Amino acid sequence: MEQRDGLRLPAEIVAESFVPAVRVALAHELAERGCAQREIGEFLGITQAAVSKYLAGQAHVEERLADDERLRRTAARVADGWVDGDLDAYDALVEIETLLQSFVDRGPVCALHEEAMPALDGLECDLCVRGPDAAAARERERLRDVRVAVRTLAADADAAAHVPNVGTNVASALPDPTGEADVAAVPGRVHAVRGRIDVPSDPAFGASQHVAGALLAANERDATIRGALNLATSDALLDAARERGDDPVEFDADYDGRDAELRRAFADGVPAVAYHRGAYGVEPVCYVFGTDARDAVSRALALVAAAE
């Protein structure tokens, strides 16, 4: 069975790393202000023995949190308010909760969560801040779309032979995309290595230029087109497309006016396959479009199978 990353809840990271860092910082700040260990323990909700351990430096603390100036300032502010009588337990909780929110908004707690759960790496996750809102769900679905599509492409034994030397990419666009930042793809492209397709990393938004550009031009003409990938142009693939009833559309390989050329090529509708024959220093490439990345890959693999 394939080894996959395990589930780690954000609350675990907070409990294991954030809470000890805050408690240790507060224990030191309160001790510096003359508070007895018993008083510190009562305020922090821990035993006097635990306070002694904290003050002796015997507790493990995540340095990225403990050394953060925001945590230091908050601990000092809470300690001052508690000692002076200007702050009660509720006020202290508000201060610490505010600090926590800043740490989970693309902050150090997020970094620790990504390390503990590698499946989050590259997803720009902000679930703790935004919650499971519709926009976040759409973004996750586009990333998942690319991941599934790329795995499907890589699993096909014949696909590697049709990957251009410059590599391929698989792209999936959000609804109503306005630029490359709204298109998910694989950073660094996907390459064929020794007859197999190598996927270098998880998908991310803004990771593609050429495939994303072609997809954006297609989506501008037909909003239902939200997936694309590129393959090496070959007569076998083009013939396979024609046999399937998908008449390929040719466009100029000149990348200086590429966007305008693609829009011209799509004036009468977006084809399933658009291609160019290359130019000096430009490898011949064809684009396969679909309603999403999985659909585009499915169409591409059907052409690959027919071309063999």
Query: What digits encode the pLDDT tens for the residues 44-97?
Result: 988 999 999 999 888 888 888 888 899 999 999 999 988 988 777 878 888 888
18 in any annotated domain: yes
pLDDT at 159 over 90: yes
Residues 152 and 70 in one domain: no
Residues 149 and 207 in one domain: yes
Q: Which pLDDT band holds residue 1 (cuts at 50, 70, 90)?
A: very low
88 in any annotated domain: yes
Check residue 120 and give its pLDDT: 64
97 in any annotated domain: yes
Least confident piece of the model among 19-33, 109-123, 261-275: 109-123
Residues 146 and 261 in one domain: yes
Mean pLDDT of 276-299: 93
Out of 89, 120, 151, pick the residue that ends a domain.
Answer: 120
178 in any annotated domain: yes
For 19, phi then psi, to 5°, come to -60, -50
129 in any annotated domain: no
- Tally of domains in the chain: 2
Residues 100 and 238 in one domain: no
Tens digits of per-residue pLDDT, 234-259? 999 999 999 999 999 999 887 677 77
Residues 77 and 149 in one domain: no
Check residue 103 and give its pLDDT: 81
pLDDT at 207 over 60: yes
Residues 106 and 216 in one domain: no
Residues 77 and 170 in one domain: no
pLDDT at 11 over 80: no
- How many CB atoms within 10 Å of residue 129? 14
Check residue 67 and give its pLDDT: 87
Residues 146 and 68 in one domain: no
Q: Is 297 exposed, middle or buried (0-12, 13-18, 19+ CB in 10 A)?
A: buried
5 in any annotated domain: no
Q: Which pLDDT band holds residue 125 (cuts at 50, 70, 90)?
A: low
Out of 81, 96, 120, pick the residue that ends a domain.
Answer: 120
Mean pLDDT of 14-25: 88
Residues 99 and 181 in one domain: no
Enclosing domain of residue 187: 134-307
Domain containing 273 — which CATH number? 3.40.225.10
Residues 144 and 229 in one domain: yes
Whether residue 146 contacts residue 186, with contact meaning beta carbons closer than 8 Å, is answered with yes
Residues 41 and 111 in one domain: yes
Mean pLDDT taken over the chain: 87
Alpha-carbon distance of 283 to 227, in angstroms, equals 22
Question: Looking up tokens 């938004």, which residue turns up?
Answer: 205
Long-range contacts of 105-112 (CB under 8 A, 24+ apart): 105/129, 108/62, 108/64, 108/65, 108/68, 109/10, 109/13, 109/14, 109/17, 109/18, 109/65, 111/64, 112/13, 112/17, 112/62, 112/64, 112/65
More confident residue, 136 or 75: 75
Mean pLDDT of 186-201: 90
3 in any annotated domain: no
The pTM of the full predicted model, rounded to 2 decimals, is 0.61
pLDDT at 280 over 50: yes
pLDDT at 177 over 70: yes
Residues 292 and 231 in one domain: yes
For the record, the structure tokens of 199 come out as: 């996927």
